[in-house]
Amino acid sequence: MNKILIIQTAFLGDVILATPIVSELKRLFPEAEIDFLVKKGNQSLLENNPYLNAVFTFDKSKGKWKDIARLIKQFRTENYDLVINLQRFASSGIIAGLSKGKKIYGFKKNPMSFLFSKKFSHDIGDGTHEVERNLSVIKEFGADRIVRPSLFPSKKDKEKIAPHQKGKYYCLAPASVWFTKQLPKQKWVELIHKLPQDSKIFLLGAPSDTELCTEIIKESKHENVQSLCGELSLLQSSALMQNAEMSYVNDSGPLHLASSVNANVTAFFCSTVPSFGFGPLAENSTIKEVNGLDCRPCGLHGHKECPKGHFKCGEIIL
Of all residues in the chain, the percent with pLDDT exceeding 70 is: 100
- In this prediction, residue 223 carries a pLDDT of 86
pLDDT digits (tens, 9 = 90+) for 8-51: 999 999 999 999 999 999 999 999 999 999 999 999 999 999 99
Per the DSSP assignment, residues forming a β-bridge with 268 are: 250, 288
**Domain ranges across the chain:** 3-141, 155-315
Average pLDDT over residues 96-103: 98
The CATH H-level (homologous superfamily) assignment of domain 155-315 is Glycogen Phosphorylase B; (3.40.50.2000)
DSSP state of 274: G
Q: Which amino acid is at 244?
A: A
Average pLDDT over residues 248-264: 97
- In this prediction, residue 221 carries a pLDDT of 82
DSSP state of 136: G
Of all residues in the chain, the percent with pLDDT exceeding 90 is: 97
CA dist 58 and 295 (Å) reads 37
Backbone angles phi, psi at 266, to 5 degrees: -120, 120
User: Class of the 3-141 domain?
Assistant: alpha beta
pLDDT digits (tens, 9 = 90+) for 149-167: 999 999 999 999 999 999 9
Q: Which amino acid is at 217?
A: I
The answer to whether the pTM exceeds 0.75 is yes
